[in-house]
Chain A
Amino acid sequence: MRTKKLVLNSILVALSAIFSYVEAIIPIPLGIPGIKLGLANVVTVFALYRIGLSSAVLISAVRIIIVSALFANPMMALYSLAGAALSLTAMTILKRAKIFSIIGVSMAGGVFHNVGQVSAAAAVMETVGLFSYLSVLIPVGMLTGVLIGIVSGKAIEHIKKIPVV
């Protein structure tokens, strides 16, 4: 069972890394620096709902380290990890409240990912001015979070029919 879980987690890390890579090579310029859909988070939300918190944490942490090492500046890994940590914390709390749908949970995940990243950047750069980006990044996080939530929900609906293990 441990081996099966290890293999499943590894496959999901690979899948989410590919999602990140595809997004990195096909950037969608929206006029605001650093904004992207965050397709890899489909895997995180899927894992959170279907496997469990520990897998979701493991998958996003390993993915961020791999993707940052391959395609980005190591400083950026710190910001991503802060975003992912806050995002997963928020999603876990809301999911356990049992009154939010996967869309609401994912929406909060998107928002808190951005809040975490900006907070980490503001702490590193020692400037509060960066928080002004949140007036844009909160609505953007809501939008991307909702989209990710819908896609994840659809994935969960379909993948239950496939005997994964």
Chain B
Amino acid sequence: MLKIVGNDKMPEKRLKATKADIVLAVFFIAAAAAVLVWSFGYFGGSADSVVITAHGETVGVYSLSEDREIVVDGGSNIVVIENGAAYMKSADCKNQHCVLHAPIRYGNEQIVCLPNKVLVEIEDNGESEIDTVAN
């Protein structure tokens, strides 16, 4: 006989949230909020170029001010630069998340194609958006 372990009198088996569960939930929400705060600082700087990487190797660095189309990895992905923003025009992967992604134009913003290991990332030039506006 296969032993079925545990019995229903054990506290952790009852189908009711414990105090520890609530504490853990609060901790997770705080962690998510911390990530959100970090994101606000990390993204959104000014930028003028985009870096494309495939399988960990740099395909190229391209200026955002020059409209063009870049074929990545023999056609697995096609990146388009248009009106100062970059987007994924096509990808041969199944989920198409990267193609559906909105165009990116600000520092550190990225479009990722996980199945093909392709990363399109805006290069943050270190200046904040406010400074650029002031200039």
B24 & A129 in contact (Cβ 8 Å cutoff) = no
Choose among B100, B108, B112, B121 the residue with the greatest number of A CB atoms under 10 Å from its CB. Answer: B112
Whether A108 sits at the interface, judged by CB under 8 Å, is yes
Query: Is A102 close to B, CB under 8 A?
Result: yes
Nearest residue, chain B, Cβ from A98: B12
| Nearest-neighbor residue (CB-CB) of A133 within chain B | B35
User: With A121-B114, A130-B112, A150-B15 in contact, is A138–B28 under 8 Å at CB?
Assistant: yes
Does chain B have a CB within 8 A of A134? yes
Cβ A125 vs Cβ B112 within 8 A: yes
B83 to chain A, nearest CB (A): 22
Chain B 1-45, CB-CB to A under 8 Å as 1, else 0, gives: 110111010111111111111001100110111011011001100
**Contact between A105 and B12, CB atoms less than 8 A apart:** yes
Residues of A within 8 Å of B17, CB to CB, are: 101, 103-104
A10-18, A59-67, A81-89, A151-159 - interface stretch: A151-159
Among A102, A136, A138, A157, contact of B12 (Cβ-Cβ < 8 Å): A102
Expressed in whole angstroms, the Cα–Cα distance for A88 and B120 within the complex equals: 32
Contacting pair B13 A134 (CB below 8 A): no
Smallest CB gap from A134: residue in B: B35
Binding site for B on A (CB under 8 A): 1, 4-5, 8, 33-34, 49-52, 72-73, 75-76, 79, 94-95, 97-105, 107-108, 111, 121, 124-132, 134-136, 138-139, 141-142, 150, 153-154, 156-157, 160, 164-165
| B→A interface (CB under 8 Å) | 1-2, 4-6, 8, 10-21, 24-25, 28-29, 31-33, 35-36, 38-39, 42-43, 53, 56, 93-95, 97, 100-101, 108-110, 112, 114-117, 119, 121
